[in-house]
Amino acid sequence: MAATCRTDLDWSERVRPYVEVRVATWLRALYSRRQLLEVLVDFWHNHFNVRADADSRIAATWPDYDRIIRTHALGNFNAMLLDVTKSVAMMYYLNNVSNKAGGGEGGNENFARELFELHTLGSDNYLKFYGQRENIPVVEYGSERFAAAYIDYDVYEASRCLTGWTIANGRDGRPNTGAFYLMEAWHDNFPKTVLAPAPLPGISPAPNFPFNNGAQRDGETAPRLVARHPRTGRNLCKKLCQRLVADDPPESLIDRATTVWMEHRDSPDQIRRVVETILLSPEAKNTFGRKIRRPLEAIWAFLRATNANAPNDVPSVNGDATDGNYWQRLFWSVDQTGHRLFGWDTPTGHPERAEYWANTNALTRTWSTFYTISQSWGGNFAIDIVGQTPAGLSCVGIVYFWLQRMLAYTSSGDLRTLLINFLAQGGDPNQPPQPLRSAPDWGSAEAVRDHINAMVQLLAMSPEFWLR
């Protein structure tokens, strides 16, 4: 019997798959031994951004979208782009599910526009308000020739290529399986012109999509065409360099990465080869400190460094069914930093550059999380900082232990001095920390534990911890 897509579940059940992927992403970020893969998965989720809770159909199929990103994160870009295009999540988020022949400039162009502007060539290669194809410069790669930039008509024509690419949702004669579906009756079979190069300056190119080419061939060829474009390679390699190396990466590194990208457009491990080129480059080795961690990255780094144990939700706490939902409380709290996992509103994805995140809200909310995440009302993570600190160490020794544990480099003397003085509380820094005899400690041994915990949290707030 054919599968059917149920629509009678309540909201909490329909979004449960999305919530479970959020939890799984956190667990992988904390405990996976393949952290580079997790970085690349996050990068591509951000590149092909979809807000998971924008539609219950997106939330319900979020594990499938996550699987697509994970499968291709170090694979071939064209293969990933094709699977993303056909996914339920992207179909509903950018409305290609309703893209059919007729209706203005080729149906619904939302996805086609983001295909050019965000997913491939990028807005830097957009000739706005320009319609003279015959005068657009040509770029070549081997025997291939491309229009050097895209115009609005390329968007309209690509949208026509993708008419009839939809989801089997039980409407208009489609089955109700929830899978990708080709609706030939919706497809625009007239000739189309997408990124076609002018044969000679001043002469308009002929259509490069013939009459009656069919929904499948048109729909597969258009994304492949933009994926293979040399300026798509440069745009995406620049974004990878910005993610992995610096907000303003050296042009020499972008050039080498682009060369590898183009040479391996048909390789199943294209992205892996590019990432390897970037990370093993001299530029990458000499640019430490030119990136800062975004809020989720800082929180995950703190939890990894402190060997935190993630919580398990429970049905109730002291009879209260709302108190055991630790993960939802955590997500709400962390979302306030502005770094909302799978929750960025627009197709652009979260900003990459430091200036966006170096603001009062993002920083103070994240700093607060270093404390609240171990509270039952803030996440209920189990973090035993004191238990991991070797017994008998002096204030200096404790600070040095945690500096080595949490930083990837030797910190400045100013930071060490600040942390040592904080922990010593006016006492001898070469002795183990002691409680103050007066307020607020009143000689309590528990106060020493609080001081050590607070010192590590203070270290996590330092610029040195946030640099990478």
- d(C-alpha 21, C-alpha 163), whole Å: 31
Q: pLDDT, tens digit, for every residue of 10-27?
A: 877 888 999 999 999 999
Please give the pLDDT value at position 3.
Answer: 52
- d(C-alpha 444, C-alpha 194), whole Å: 74
Strand partners, 140: 145
- d(C-alpha 22, C-alpha 329), whole Å: 13
Contact of 99 with 159, CB cutoff 8 Å = yes
The pLDDT confidence band at residue 105, using thresholds 50, 70 and 90, is very low
- d(C-alpha 99, C-alpha 187), whole Å: 9
- Does the pTM exceed 0.95? no
Q: What is the 3-state secondary structure (H, E, C) of 278-290?
A: HHCCHHHHCCCCC
DSSP letters, 45-81, are HHHT---GGGSHHHHHTHHHHHHHHHHHTTS-HHHHH
- Chain centroid offset of residue 370 CA: 22
Contact of 70 with 45, CB cutoff 8 Å = no
What's the whole-number mean pLDDT along residues 247-262? 97
Q: pLDDT, tens digit, for every residue of 178-204?
A: 999 999 999 999 999 999 999 998 999
- Can you read off the two tokens belonging to residue 277? 């080129």
Q: Report the percent of the chain where pLDDT is more than 70.
A: 96
Q: Report the percent of the chain where pLDDT is more than 90.
A: 82
User: Average pLDDT, whole number, for the chain?
Assistant: 92
Residue 93 to residues 40, 122, 166, 219, 346: CA-CA distances in angstroms? 22, 19, 12, 18, 10
- d(C-alpha 342, C-alpha 49), whole Å: 8
Q: pLDDT, tens digit, for every residue of 389-438?
A: 999 999 999 999 999 999 977 777 899 999 999 999 999 999 999 988 78
Per the model's pLDDT, the better-predicted residue between 292 and 377 turns out to be 292
Phi, psi of 108 (to 5 degrees): -100, 115
The pLDDT confidence band at residue 103, using thresholds 50, 70 and 90, is low
Residue 316 has pLDDT above 70, yes or no: no
Per the model's pLDDT, the better-predicted residue between 374 and 82 turns out to be 82
First to last CA, the chain: 53
The pLDDT confidence band at residue 104, using thresholds 50, 70 and 90, is very low
Q: Is the peptide bond before 440 cis (omega within 30 degrees of 0)?
A: yes
